Amino acid sequence: MPRCGDRTAHHLSQVLETQPELLPELLGLMAAAGQRVPELLLPKLLRHGQRNTAIRPALKAVLGERGRWLAAQNPDWRYGQGQGQAIADFATETPELKALWPGEDAQSRAINLRAWRQVDAQAAREALAAAWSSELAQERQALLGALATHLSLADEAFLESALGDRGKAVRKVAADLLAQLSGSGFGDRMARRASAWVQMSQAGSGLAIAVTLPEAYDEDWKRDGIELKAPRGEGQRAWWLRQILAYTPLAVWQAEPSAIVPALAGHEWQDSLLLGWGLAAQRQGNAAWAEALLGQFGLRQFKDLQFVELLALLSADTQERFWRDFLISRMPKGKQPEEKALAFGLEQLSQTELSLSIEFSRLLIQRLKLHCQSQQQHPYQWTYSARGLARRLHPETAAEFAELLDTLPEGLKNPYGQNSLQTMLSCLRFRREMHQVFDASG
């Protein structure tokens, strides 16, 4: 694997020093080009991976032979070993793979357990079961989550036993994983409960949804992860319904989501149904349900649901179409509601992993430009999302964003506003430089 060029090495050095949030993007560009990290930057990069487990897969792809050797010399960097051998080539009996398992910190061990699951899901689960009783609750939580890799009904018995764990967070992970298992006993229990409380019938050309809230808390629910006490501002019985819907297999509802979701509009229990089914779609990775829900309701109506994770179930084109509709046709009327909606939407967009097309990036910049020109003072609300937005916009739109800054009304040119927007422009320009190196070599 050839070493990256001097310009990319310079960019990597800058990213490691001042913009670590750009590491996944730059490492991805290097991996796609088949380039490795310069030797002098290996220690600093490995230290970043030591602190941030999320970048480890991208990091390992560009370490090269020297980087893997260096990783083997430091117990804290052991996560960097083994990239030269495809995971499918490992056998569970080999020292290379077994050495990955008994690492020191829970997050590293969870990553290694996921790698083992890719090779032999049963052996990895059995190793976890053997060590289970000696693990601390925090470690059990992290390690149990690794069973999401190649999750199957073969894992059901172990996950059912984890529902009785003394750690609340461990029990939640077990319930979340069981909710993803089609045909599990857990799913059947939830389906029986939900079907008793929610019935659908034909009403003209659409569907009608009848809801009967549970009368009392059943102690059997506790083991399945249903909490008794509702969050502030939510009725207790509605809270029970919402939780059980969120754990119920969506296949129970035999109609298409595109037919069910319109029946929620204006429903007495709209929030409970929306949030319950939204979380079910998120847990079960159901893109059809996610698209139907996102197409019907505004961002604010999802409240505490992980909206970004729900949106991530959709293809990049569909996500971008959602944001286009939001900017063009789904903004509320009135200056103050529009400002709040725009700020909230941009905050959510900044948290996604979506790489915006150049066309949509230009549309977004134009929308921000029009918004700024209508303001009497700096739009503080959406500039809080500036750094995240700078990573989402297409890097070739740096010139358009610079034009936005040049045309700001005088009332918006204050130090704080200028600094936040200038930081956004600097990030865009830097990303453009990063990409141009690879565009030129490609």
pLDDT tier, 174 (very low <50, low <70, confident <90, very high otherwise):
very high
Looking at the fold, whether 159 and 293 belong to one and the same domain comes out as no
- Assigned domain for 136 exists: yes
Query: Looking at residue 83, what is its pLDDT?
Result: 42
Query: Looking at residue 111, what is its pLDDT?
Result: 79
69 neighbors 38 (Cβ within 8 angstroms): no
- Assigned domain for 138 exists: yes
Looking at the fold, whether 195 and 102 belong to one and the same domain comes out as no
The predicted model gives 296-320 an average pLDDT of 83
Give the model confidence (pLDDT) of 333-357 as tens digits: 887 888 888 888 888 899 899 999 9
> How far apart are alpha carbons 365 and 362 in whole angstroms?
5
Question: Which residue did the predictor score with more confidence, 173 or 304?
Answer: 173
Q: Which residues pair with 200 in a beta bridge?
A: 209
> Under 8 Å CB-to-CB from 200, ≥6 apart: which residues?
207, 208, 209, 210, 253, 255, 260, 263
Query: Looking at residue 16, what is its pLDDT?
Result: 97
CA distances from 308 to 158, 185, 354, 441 (A): 30, 30, 10, 34
Looking at the fold, whether 263 and 249 belong to one and the same domain comes out as yes
CA distances from 309 to 120, 148, 281, 287, 297 (A): 28, 16, 10, 11, 16
Looking at the fold, whether 241 and 289 belong to one and the same domain comes out as yes
The predicted model gives 426-435 an average pLDDT of 97
Looking at the fold, whether 296 and 349 belong to one and the same domain comes out as no
The predicted model gives 271-291 an average pLDDT of 94
Count of structural domains, the chain: 3
Looking at the fold, whether 294 and 322 belong to one and the same domain comes out as no
Percent of the chain residues topping a pLDDT of 90? 62
- Assigned domain for 1 exists: no
pLDDT tier, 287 (very low <50, low <70, confident <90, very high otherwise):
very high
Could you tell me if residue 82 is left (phi over 0), alpha (psi between -120 and 50 degrees) or otherwise beta? left
Taking the CB of residue 131, how many other CB atoms lie within 10 A of it?
Answer: 15
Looking at the fold, whether 171 and 56 belong to one and the same domain comes out as yes
pLDDT tier, 386 (very low <50, low <70, confident <90, very high otherwise):
confident
The predicted model gives 416-422 an average pLDDT of 75
Query: Looking at residue 411, what is its pLDDT?
Result: 63
Looking at the fold, whether 156 and 195 belong to one and the same domain comes out as no
Instruction: Give the structural domain span for 423.
Output: 317-441
Looking at the fold, whether 201 and 153 belong to one and the same domain comes out as no
The predicted model gives 242-255 an average pLDDT of 95
Judged against a pLDDT cut of 60, whether residue 68 lies above it is answered with yes
Residue after which a domain boundary falls, among 262, 289, 311: 311
Looking at the fold, whether 298 and 214 belong to one and the same domain comes out as yes
The predicted model gives 217-230 an average pLDDT of 93
The predicted model gives 237-259 an average pLDDT of 95
Looking at the fold, whether 355 and 284 belong to one and the same domain comes out as no
- Assigned domain for 354 exists: yes
Query: Looking at residue 379, what is its pLDDT?
Result: 61
Burial zone of 442 (CB within 10 Å; 0-12 exposed, 13-18 middle, 19+ buried): exposed
Query: Looking at residue 304, what is its pLDDT?
Result: 59
Residue after which a domain boundary falls, among 179, 196, 224: 179
Judged against a pLDDT cut of 70, whether residue 146 lies above it is answered with yes
Query: Looking at residue 282, what is its pLDDT?
Result: 93
pLDDT tier, 414 (very low <50, low <70, confident <90, very high otherwise):
low
Give the model confidence (pLDDT) of 79-135 as tens digits: 887 543 344 444 445 554 555 555 557 777 887 788 789 888 998 899 899 889 988
Residue after which a domain boundary falls, among 139, 158, 179: 179
Q: Which of 92-101, 178-187, 328-337 has the highest mean pLDDT?
A: 178-187
Lowest-confidence region among 111-120, 124-133, 188-197, 243-252: 111-120
pTM confidence score:
0.83
> How far apart are alpha carbons 227 and 365 in whole angstroms?
44
Judged against a pLDDT cut of 60, whether residue 36 lies above it is answered with yes
Looking at the fold, whether 203 and 296 belong to one and the same domain comes out as yes
Lowest-confidence region among 63-77, 269-283, 416-430: 416-430
Among the listed residues 360, 371, 369, the one whose alpha carbon sits nearest the alpha carbon of residue 321: 360
Judged against a pLDDT cut of 80, whether residue 294 lies above it is answered with yes
pLDDT tier, 374 (very low <50, low <70, confident <90, very high otherwise):
confident
> How far apart are alpha carbons 104 and 107 in whole angstroms?
9
